[in-house]
Amino acid sequence: MQGTRYGDMTRFFLSAFYHLSETHFFYNMTSLLWKGIQLETSVGSVEFASMIAALLGLSQGITLLLSKGLLLFGNETAYYDQYAVGFSGVLFGMKIVLNAWSDDYVFLHGMVIPAKYAAWAELLLIQAFIPGTSFIGHLGGTLAGLSYLWLKRSYSGPDPLALLISGIANVVSWPVKFAQRLLRSGRRQGSRVGRRASRETDQGMWRCSACTYDNSSSADICEMCNSTREDPAFPQRQHLQAGGDSALSVDEIRRRRLQRFDR
């Protein structure tokens, strides 16, 4: 009895992740990629993950209810003993959500139909032209999409699944965010030190307009060419040499520069 219950639970939760062949898996994953990009872009990653989890549970539960409900019609075959595998149920639910408010038209197997009815048309066409498909599984996914939209419209509070997924994501990503904050703070401190040192260097020097020599801020006469500092923030004082003006010739400036650098 316990083994049977365990098998039923495993079948309920994991049957959507089993596929019959590589072609079946490839088709479903391609469809998931196409629909997932559009939905995740429009609602965000957390809301998208919550949608997938809700559609998975709803599609599996509705499929099980439909299978057991058909027994009331006296069918000899127990539908709940048949296997419905693959991610198609969730994909049908995603198609319902994606096209719920769309006014566009889609081209489906040679027919042009409104996008909001594309999931229903595909449900009938797949059943008619692809043998061995699970009509109950696909119908369960379609009804799951409608149920999800109804729940979203009727419930105005925060999505509990989205809150749960967001909390789990925060816990899992906390070490990475902590390391990123440490790296950012280290870079900011380094840049502040560099800017402070550069500012102090700039404030502690002034460049002579005549010979481009960088002088100390405490001096208002160029140490290289003896020119007066041309800065309105400092009082200009004429520095007269013995026997002449403060202006120097080009040769004298060159001689003093070479002498200063020992050349």
Judge whether 88 counts as a catalytic residue: yes
Choose, from 50, 67, 134, 138, the residue flagged as catalytic: 138
Two structure tokens written together for 18: 């089993």
C-alpha–C-alpha distance, residues 140 and 88, integer Å? 10
Q: Find how far residue 261's CA is from the centre of its chain.
A: 58
Partners of residue 228 on adjacent β-strands:
221
Contact in structure between 144 and 89 (CB atoms under 8 Å): yes
Choose, from 50, 59, 67, 88, the residue flagged as catalytic: 88
What's the CA angle centered on 151, arms 147 and 156, to 5 degrees?
165
C-alpha–C-alpha distance, residues 78 and 73, integer Å? 11
Judge whether 138 counts as a catalytic residue: yes
Q: Among residues 98, 108, 94, which one has the least CA distance to residue 138?
A: 94
Q: What amino acid positions are annotated as catalytic residues?
A: 88, 138
